[in-house]
Amino acid sequence: MTPILFNAINDVLESAGRATRARFEPEVRFAEDLNFDSLDYAELAVRLEETLGWDVFKAGVPVTVGEVGQRLAAKASG
């Protein structure tokens, strides 16, 4: 996981008043495991787009942290 993604997820958790994490396994699910709602997804998308300059969610809403990581890796290599 990139530091950008790690920090963005923890920032969203913190701003929602939820506990941050020391690490995220790729299989961690946003809705079920992190209790993300639509506002959390929107905040994460904006934070990542502001940092990276492109819309990570353009391909759809990811279910797991690993899906976002794969999108970041694909963009970096392509």
Distance of CA 23 to the CA centre of its chain: 13
Q: Which residue ranges form the domains of the chain, and what is each CATH number? A: 3-77 (1.10.1200.10)
Q: What is the pTM of this model?
A: 0.94
16-53 pLDDT tens trace: 999 999 999 999 999 999 999 999 999 999 999 999 99
Cβ-count burial of 76 within 10 angstroms (0-12 exposed, 13-18 middle, 19+ buried)? exposed
pLDDT at 7: 97
48-75 pLDDT tens trace: 999 999 999 999 999 999 999 999 999 8
How far, in Å, CA of 11 to CA of 56, rounded?
17
How far, in Å, CA of 78 to CA of 26, rounded?
21
pLDDT surpassing 80 at residue 78: no
- Give residue 76's identity as a one-letter amino acid code: A
